[in-house]
């Protein structure tokens, strides 16, 4: 018997397990479907280039065909390993805009405004920049999550920043400070030249605690109830179906794609949908699996064959790579400490926008189809993603089999406003890439996008090539209406002893990368859980 059972060892689950087990009187069990995070491809930052191409530590989901993307199936990589997606992501440390959280609060979620959540961001963080002044107002110096400037940045991030300033954008040295607007270098979740996932920060240092049990290779199949109280879980491991019991709470941290799936498999969801699959309805919750949305992204790739210190497939690139392996193994420095998306920024698609509605990621290599399509030679890429899409989709069950992949439908570009902003962003991105600082490299935009000149042609390219930049949220929306599955305390409505703690609870996606906000959500949930059982 445990006090708490945590389903999912990703960013949120690692935080909950590490924090709740700080109390030696509390027994905590963490279930993770994937393996231990032992692969060198996880700990070496540049290993992410391989992780995206394989199913190692990666669920590698696909969406249903997307009408807005010419009926293509989108790719949805999600971490299947301790640390979850924080063990396979590009490690950018971004919190979003203060207006995101104030919007959450204004929608009826008391305690989730920016001033409420900032202390939890700071609690989670150890930022290796020198603290003091305005920086200390916004950043922490003693948290489990290590954040730093890139240890061995390439020369190309500063060139991107120079190009963007030539195109009229302001420089910003701290996207998580007082102002988000502008371009600059990304800070990363690294320590000593290694990836610093949520598992490494919150979980790994405490695996020896006698009150903490971590079970990997454990795929949770159902939440168990007595009446309407969650009392445990069933899971599959090594061909066996096993059960565990929780005396206080079950904490669901399976992410925006699998948390709603598990709720529905357990009888909590839209009644008609559950009945369609022969699942007994415990609580008719119409909002479970609804409100799914994501950051849609389009990439421009520039071929620069003579610039061989960019990442690329060539004899020179292979020689540099081998040298980089030895340098990283010896001193944890060099080219393999890159997160590839070294620079970027937050810009407005038109001057009238109150806050940035577009994000840029500048990548020091040619990125085609999420890095899954081999490209020879050298070059660089730039992403632009839409920060506040109006399109909404869903997660639904494909069958009553809990091991089946859910039906994932972000419903990209269902709202016309999303396309209009993407087209404007595409043109702004191209203007930056054509500015003198980058044009001096002599690169040439690949024909797949270079052929798009008019708005109609750009729209065609977006429908042909755009896809996620890996930030699905919202499918267990937090709110105070009957259609919101969880309340502002993250408790699942209609039952007891069950909370959802992950990115699925976001009413609206944050304006930026979602890992740091997910960690914040879990830090805040810890205080809620402790208060409930004080």
**Active site annotation includes 277:** no
Q: 382 exposed, middle or buried (CB, 10 Å; 0-12, 13-18, 19+)?
A: buried
**Of 295, 361, 471, 533, which is the active-site residue?**
471
- Written as six digits, the tokens of 440 are 């001096």
Q: Where are the alpha helices (DSSP H) in 125-174?
A: 133-138, 156-166
d(C-alpha 415, C-alpha 422), whole Å: 12
pLDDT at 100 over 70: yes
Q: Where are the alpha helices (DSSP H) in 342-486?
A: 416-433, 436-439, 447-450, 455-465
Give the single-character DSSP code of 473. Answer: B
d(C-alpha 436, C-alpha 246), whole Å: 61
Q: Where are the alpha helices (DSSP H) in 125-270?
A: 133-138, 156-166, 198, 259-265
Print burial letters for 40-75: b (CB count within 10 Å at least 16), e (below 16). Answer: ebbbbbbbbbebbbeebbbbbbebbebebbeebebb
Domain formed by 2-39+199-292+473-532, architecture: 3-Layer(bba) Sandwich (3.50)
| Region(s) of the chain under CATH 3.50.50.60 | 2-39+199-292+473-532
Say how many Å lie between the first and final Cα of the chain, rounded: 19
**Tell me: the pLDDT tens digits for 505-522?**
999 999 999 999 999 999
Helices (H) and strands (E) in the chain, counts: 16, 26
**Tell me: the pLDDT tens digits for 275-298?**
999 999 999 999 999 999 999 999
**Confidence band (pLDDT; 50, 70, 90) for 403?**
very high
**Tell me: the pLDDT tens digits for 150-162?**
999 999 999 999 9
Domain formed by 44-83+148-195+294-468, architecture: 2-Layer Sandwich (3.30)
Phi, psi of 324 (to 5 degrees): -65, -40
When pLDDT is averaged across residues 165-187 and rounded to a whole number, the result is 97
pLDDT at 131 over 80: no
**Confidence band (pLDDT; 50, 70, 90) for 240?**
very high
| Region(s) of the chain under CATH 3.30.560.10 | 44-83+148-195+294-468
d(C-alpha 261, C-alpha 407), whole Å: 9
């Amino acid at each position: 018997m445990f006090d708490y059972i945590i389903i999912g060892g990703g960013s949120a689950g690692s935080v909950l397990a590490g924090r709740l087990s700080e109390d030696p009187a509390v027994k905590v069990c963490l279930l993770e479907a994937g393996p231990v995070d032992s692969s060198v491809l996880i700990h070496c930052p540049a290993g992410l280039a391989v992780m995206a191409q394989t199913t190692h530590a990666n669920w590698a989901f696909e969406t249903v065909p997307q009408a807005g993307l010419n009926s293509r199936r989108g790719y949805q990589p999600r971490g299947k390993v301790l640390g979850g997606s924080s063990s396979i992501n590009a490690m950018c440390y971004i919190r979003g805009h203060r207006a995101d959280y104030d919007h959450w609060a204004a929608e009826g979620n008391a305690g989730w405004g920016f001033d409420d959540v900032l202390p939890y961001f700071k609690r989670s963080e150890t930022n290796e920049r020198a603290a003091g002044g305005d920086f200390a107002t916004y950043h922490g110096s003693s948290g489990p999550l290590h954040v730093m400037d890139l240890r061995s940045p390439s020369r190309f991030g500063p060139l991107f920043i120079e190009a963007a300033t030539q195109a009229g954008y302001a420089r910003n040295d701290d996207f998580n400070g007082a102002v988000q607007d502008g371009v600059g270098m990304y800070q990363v979740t690294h320590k000593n030249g290694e990836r610093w996932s949520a598992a490494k920060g919150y979980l790994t240092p405490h695996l020896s605690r006698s009150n903490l049990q971590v079970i990997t290779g454990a795929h949770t199949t159902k939440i168990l109830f007595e009446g309407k109280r969650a009392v445990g879980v069933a899971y599959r491991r090594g061909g066996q179906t096993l059960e565990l019991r929780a005396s206080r709470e079950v904490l669901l941290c399976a992410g925006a794609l699998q948390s709603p799936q598990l709720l529905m498999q357990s009888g909590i969801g839209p009644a008609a949908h559950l009945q369609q699959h022969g699942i007994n309805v415990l609580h008719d919750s119409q909002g479970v699996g609804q409100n799914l949305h994501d950051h849609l992204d389009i990439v421009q790739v520039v071929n620069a064959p003579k610039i061989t210190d960019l990442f690329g497939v060539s004899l020179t690139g292979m020689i540099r790579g081998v040298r980089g392996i030895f340098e990283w193994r010896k001193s944890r420095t060099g080219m393999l400490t890159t997160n590839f998306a070294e620079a970027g920024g937050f810009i407005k698609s038109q001057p009238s926008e109150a806050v940035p509605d577009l994000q840029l990621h500048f990548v020091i290599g040619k990125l085609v189809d999420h890095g899954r399509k081999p490209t020879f030679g050298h070059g660089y890429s730039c992403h632009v993603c839409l920060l506040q899409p109006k399109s909404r989709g869903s997660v639904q069950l494909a069958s009553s089999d809990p091991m089946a992949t859910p039906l994932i439908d972000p419903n990209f570009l269902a709202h016309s406003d999303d396309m209009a902003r993407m087209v404007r962003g595409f043109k702004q991105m191209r203007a930056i890439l054509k500015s003198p600082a980058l044009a001096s490299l002599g690169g040439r935009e690949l024909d797949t996008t270079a052929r798009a000149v008019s708005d109609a042609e750009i729209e065609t390219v977006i429908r042909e090539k755009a896809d996620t930049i890996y930030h699905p949220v919202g499918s267990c929306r937090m709110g105070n209406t009957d259609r919101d599955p969880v309340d502002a305390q993250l408790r699942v409505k209609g039952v007891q002893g069950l909370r959802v703690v992950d990115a699925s609870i976001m009413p609206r996606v944050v304006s930026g990368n979602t890992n740091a906000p997910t960690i914040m959500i879990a830090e805040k949930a810890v205080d809620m859980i402790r208060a409930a059982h004080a």
